[in-house]
Amino acid sequence: MSSSLRTKRALEVFSVILIGDGLISVVRPVGHSLMWWVPVPGVRQLMEWCAERPNVTRLLGLAQIGVGLWLDARLYASPPTREAGAPH
């Protein structure tokens, strides 16, 4: 497997994570923020800030969805090709 294909697959996984996380942030902003509350400096304060501002969290979620869709569209700007030795 070429590194280019591995990179594209990794970027596609990243775009799926962005889209899914963004969607959950839009639908359940408070619960999703508090789910990631951990006693690590900075993380707890950030997640509490997001939980206290659900509309801002929704907006951030929409931005995540947009970035994920943009990234996915860029990956498919040219049609994928089969590599030599790939199953047919």
Query: What gap in Å lies between CA 3 and CA 76, rounded to an integer?
Result: 17
Digit-coded pLDDT (tens) for 1-25: 566 889 999 999 999 999 999 999 9
pTM: 0.81
| Annotated domain spans of the chain | 3-75
Q: Tell me the pLDDT band of 41, cut-offs 50, 70 and 90.
A: confident
What pLDDT shows up at residue 39? 86
Query: What gap in Å lies between CA 83 and CA 77, rounded to an integer?
Result: 18
85: left (phi over 0), alpha (psi -120 to 50) or beta: left
